């Protein structure tokens, strides 16, 4: 999030696009609902499925999955046509406006044309643009509904374009606010758990960064960008990847095209899984290392608003279990190195020294409320919202983004669009949430089908149906609901017994390398 949670109530208008907020981020959803209830903010929800947040929205629109760029470009065309953009902001803080405008003003993004593309009525598109464009401060929230597309990067840039032309970036209460889906996904990124950057998003390809880390760690480092998770699976499959070290992840359920993933696991020479449980992935490991749970260690999580917060040790780990950093240090030293961290605090010091944005977020300073990065030094109070006054790169760059269709569209054989996501009561691949029986009692596998589609196929509620794509097939009970859009089915991906990712398309965004979980062609069949 460029902005903070406290800023939610400072927005006049809030746009949620591609986030089932009350299911995946319930507490942020509560904050947004509070803002609406208290009359502070007006809410627009754009989502294929009529999510709970739509019930609180002034305008709700259901777009065809994958049409987000067209919808937002249309909004921007309307905004520019009516002069609702922030002209001063565009003049002073942005560049690339002319090329951008040339793309946006094309006839293909007119409300009437986008109605054909997205299924949202032209008048609704106009109303959304008007409400959003005329807001003094508007914020935009998204989650994987925006990113998990072959056009994920385009979608993200388009949200940024929208917020830039409206002058909503670098403003309290505004911002582009991706909601991070896991407790420390932000921290894992911040800490260089990415193939292209060192901690603090310092590019591995920049010589100065390489030198800095080489000096600090007293070693030689590689300056070429590594491979991403989907490429790792492909590498294992085609033999270029020989060893995999998986810490606290479960690609068996979380990666697209499960059949392909299994084949890759079977092929890879040596696989180490470090986890609390024998996960579905761990079944394929050569070595499993038992790791401590969050409650058994201390350290920091960084949340979606970049707030670094302390986690405290509550109980001892079971005998024989070690914390992740202890295990990693053991491996490093067994490989011939000489690491000597005594506690997590020692590592924290190194983070402070090598990560500029974490420079001031020391063990002593974090306190009960945490600190929001960037926080370069110990005098810095932290940064509730980014891009105040100027952008990191100086001027904000508007890029013309053309609408592209998803990789796989429905056809005669696979007439439906399958999209995946989460439900409130379960989490990710279920390694944690599914250990609580009560949560399982509340939410099991299902496929959400629109009333129209269910009626035309003669499917009734709770009836077990088969869902198939070009990658495979699964069975799940049908959940027939008016909230689902005709022609679209939705399957949560938490369940190994009905693994949605056996069905999903592994096609990825060429730059962001994110798989297209939100759109693929599927069909539903009765099982009896």
Partner 1 sequence: MIVYLNGKAYEAFPGEQVLQVALRNNVYIPHLCFHEKTGKAAKCRACVVEIEGMPGLKTSCNVPVTNEMRVTTNSQQVLEAQRLVIDLILSSGQHDCLSCEQNGNCELQDAAYYLGIKKPSFQLYDNDYTIDDSSEFISVDRSRCINCGRCIVGCNQTVVNEVLNWGNRGFDTKIVFDTDLPMGSSTCVQCGECVQLCPVGCIIDKRSIGSGRTWELDKVETICPYCGVGCRLEVHVDRKHDKIVRITGVEDAPTNNGMLCVKGRYGFDFVQSSERITTPLIKENGKFREAGWEEAIGLVASKFNAIKKEFGSDSIVGLASAKVTNEENFVFQKLLRKEVGTNNVDHCARL
> In the complex, what is the shortest distance from the CB of residue 150 to partner 1, in angstroms, rounded to a whole number?
12
Partner residues linked to 477 by β-bridges = 464
> In the complex, what is the shortest distance from the CB of residue 14 to partner 1, in angstroms, rounded to a whole number?
14
Residues 452-491, mask of contacts with partner 1 (x by CB under 8 A): ----------------------------------------
> In the complex, what is the shortest distance from the CB of residue 46 to partner 1, in angstroms, rounded to a whole number?
20
Paired tokens of 408: 């796989």
DSSP assignment of 512-523: T--EE-S-EEEE
Q: Distance between CA 40 and CA 135 in Å, rounded?
A: 12
Altogether, the residues listed in the chain come to a count of: 528
- CB nearer partner 1, residue 168 or residue 303: 303
Find the binding residues for partner 1 in span 161-220 (CB under 8 A). Answer: 179-196, 198-199, 204, 213, 217, 219-220
- CB nearer partner 1, residue 34 or residue 481: 34
- CB nearer partner 1, residue 12 or residue 275: 275
Of the candidate residues 96, 248, 376, 487, the single one contacting partner 1 (CB under 8 A): 248
Residue 526 near residue 459, CB atoms below 8 Å: yes
- CB nearer partner 1, residue 85 or residue 255: 255
Residues 76-105, mask of contacts with partner 1 (x by CB under 8 A): ------------------------------
Determine the interface stretch with partner 1 among 127-135, 169-177, 243-251, 385-393 (rule: CB under 8 A). 243-251
Does residue 513 bind partner 1 (CB under 8 A)? yes
> In the complex, what is the shortest distance from the CB of residue 168 to partner 1, in angstroms, rounded to a whole number?
22
Q: Is the peptide bond before 374 cis (omega within 30 degrees of 0)?
A: yes
Q: If we measure between CA atoms, which residue out of 89, 505, 5, 423 comes closest to residue 259?
A: 505
Q: Which pairing describes strands 371-372 and 307-311: parallel, antiparallel, or unpaired? A: antiparallel
DSSP assignment of 436-505: SHHHHHH----EEEEHHHHHHHT--TT-EEEEE-SS-EEEEEEEEETTSPTTEEEEES--SSS-GGGTSE
Residue 118 near residue 64, CB atoms below 8 Å: yes
> In the complex, what is the shortest distance from the CB of residue 39 to partner 1, in angstroms, rounded to a whole number?
12
> In the complex, what is the shortest distance from the CB of residue 84 to partner 1, in angstroms, rounded to a whole number?
29
- CB nearer partner 1, residue 166 or residue 371: 371
Find the binding residues for partner 1 in span 256-285 (CB under 8 A). Answer: 269-270, 272, 275-278, 285
Does residue 130 bind partner 1 (CB under 8 A)? no
Residue 53 near residue 21, CB atoms below 8 Å: yes
Residues 409-448, mask of contacts with partner 1 (x by CB under 8 A): ---------------xxxxx--xxx-xxxxx-xx------
Determine the interface stretch with partner 1 among 59-67, 97-105, 364-372, 458-466 (rule: CB under 8 A). 364-372
Does residue 241 bind partner 1 (CB under 8 A)? yes
Paired tokens of 6: 């406290």
Q: How many CA atoms lie within 13 A of 309 on its CB side?
A: 13
Task: Classify each residue of 328-356 as buried b or exposed e, where b means 16 or more C-beta atoms within 10 Å of its C-beta.
Answer: bbeeeeeeeeeeebeebeebbeebbebbb
Place of tokens 């109605």: 115
> In the complex, what is the shortest distance from the CB of residue 396 to partner 1, in angstroms, rounded to a whole number?
24
Find the binding residues for partner 1 in span 293-312 (CB under 8 A). Answer: 293-305, 307-312
Partner residues linked to 453 by β-bridges = none
Q: Distance between CA 235 and CA 41 in Å, rounded?
A: 48
> In the complex, what is the shortest distance from the CB of residue 93 to partner 1, in angstroms, rounded to a whole number?
28
> In the complex, what is the shortest distance from the CB of residue 1 to partner 1, in angstroms, rounded to a whole number?
9
Backbone angles phi, psi at 80, to 5 degrees: -70, -40
Residues 31-70, mask of contacts with partner 1 (x by CB under 8 A): --xx-xx------------------x--------------
Q: Distance between CA 318 and CA 298 in Å, rounded?
A: 15
- CA 345 to chain centroid: 29
Residue 52, burial from CB neighbour count under 10 angstroms (0-12, 13-18, 19+)? middle
Paired tokens of 455: 């009626």
> In the complex, what is the shortest distance from the CB of residue 120 to partner 1, in angstroms, rounded to a whole number?
26
- CB nearer partner 1, residue 129 or residue 500: 500
């Amino acid at each position: 999030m460029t902005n903070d949670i406290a800023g939610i109530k400072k927005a006049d208008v809030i746009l949620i696009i591609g986030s089932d907020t009350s299911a995946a981020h319930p507490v942020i959803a509560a904050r947004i609902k509070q803002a609406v209830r208290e009359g502070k903010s007006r809410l627009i929800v754009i989502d294929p499925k009529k999510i709970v947040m739509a019930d609180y929205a002034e305008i709700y629109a259901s777009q065809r999955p994958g049409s987000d760029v067209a919808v937002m470009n249309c909004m921007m065309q309307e905004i520019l046509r009516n002069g609702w953009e922030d002209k001063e902001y565009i003049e002073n803080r942005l560049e690339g406006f002319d090329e951008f405008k040339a793309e946006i003003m094309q006839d293909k993004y007119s409300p009437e044309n986008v109605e054909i593309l997205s299924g949202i009525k032209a008048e609704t598109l106009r109303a959304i643009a008007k409400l959003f464009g005329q807001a003094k401060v508007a914020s935009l929230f998204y989650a994987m509904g925006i990113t998990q597309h072959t056009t994920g990067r385009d979608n993200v840039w388009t949200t940024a374009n929208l917020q830039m032309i409206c002058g909503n970036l670098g403003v309290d209460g505004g911002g582009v606010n991706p909601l991070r889906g896991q407790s420390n996904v932000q921290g894992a990124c911040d800490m260089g758990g990415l193939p292209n950057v060192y901690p603090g998003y310092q590019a591995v390809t920049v010589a100065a960064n390489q030198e800095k880390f080489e000096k600090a760690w007293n070693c030689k480092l590689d300056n070429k960008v590594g491979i991403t998770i989907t490429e790792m699976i492909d590498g294992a499959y085609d033999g270029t990847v020989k060893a995999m070290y998986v810490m606290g992840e479960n690609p068996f359920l979380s990666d697209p095209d499960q059949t392909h993933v299994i084949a890759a696991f079977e092929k890879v020479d040596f696989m180490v899984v470090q986890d609390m449980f024998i996960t579905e992935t761990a079944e394929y490991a050569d070595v499993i290392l038992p790791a401590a749970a969050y409650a058994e260690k201390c350290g920091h999580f960084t949340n979606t608003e970049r707030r670094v917060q302390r986690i405290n040790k509550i109980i001892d780990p079971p005998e024989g279990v070690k914390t992740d950093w202890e295990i990693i240090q053991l491996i490093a030293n067994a490989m011939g190195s000489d690491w000597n961290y005594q506690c997590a605090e020692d590592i924290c010091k190194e983070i402070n020294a090598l990560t500029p944005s974490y420079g001031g977020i020391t063990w002593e300073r974090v306190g009960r409320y945490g600190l929001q990065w960037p926080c370069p030094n110990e005098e810095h109070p932290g940064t509730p919202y980014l891009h105040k006054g100027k952008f990191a790169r100086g001027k904000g760059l508007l890029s013309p983004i053309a609408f592209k269709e998803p990789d796989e569209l429905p056809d005669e054989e696979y007439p439906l669009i399958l999209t995946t996501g989460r439900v409130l009561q379960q989490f990710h691949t279920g390694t944690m949430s599914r250990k609580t029986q009560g949560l399982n009692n509340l939410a099991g596998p299902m496929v959400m089908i629109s009333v129209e589609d269910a009626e035309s196929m003669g499917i009734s509620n709770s009836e077990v149906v088969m869902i198939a794509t070009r990658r495979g097939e699964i069975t799940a009970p049908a959940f027939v609901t008016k909230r689902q859009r005709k022609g679209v089915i939705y399957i949560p991906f938490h369940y190994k017994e009905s693994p949605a990712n056996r069905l999903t398309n592994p096609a990825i965004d060429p730059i962001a390398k994110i798989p297209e979980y939100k759109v693929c062609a599927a069909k539903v069949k009765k099982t009896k």
